[in-house]
Amino acid sequence: MTTVSHWAIVWDLLLIYSYLDMADSWPSDFRDMGLTMLAGWMFSSKFLKLLGHYIRYPGDFLLLPVSILFGYLHGFIKGYAMLSLNVTAWGSREGADDDDANRMIRMNQKHQEAFDYRNTTGCYTQ
């Protein structure tokens, strides 16, 4: 469930929006201090996740902004993958995609047995 539900950019923006909405009536210095603490919490949670790696390879600490940006980009990649789940294509094989529309049609059990690989090769006996 975490792979489907973890959209870093959406959750982070919702956290910031809900905080700003809640702290709207606060004095500006308290609101700004709270926003700074929230941003620090969000940053530290993304940093602590990779702390073991940074201890082993300290030079990779420079790649922390790239890691955070990839976390946000990865949400868009997962969204595109979910929206294009029914698109299948070989791409590199000539003529392989000619029956792409037919391949995605759901068959009932009777038709499935007629196209079953074991039935067409004679390897399946009842």
Q: What is the pLDDT of residues 55-101, one digit of tens each?
A: 999 999 999 999 889 988 988 888 888 888 777 666 666 666 666 56
pTM equals 0.59
Output the pLDDT for position 83: 84
**pLDDT the model gives residue 75:** 85
Residue 51 has pLDDT above 80, yes or no: yes
Amino acid at 97: D
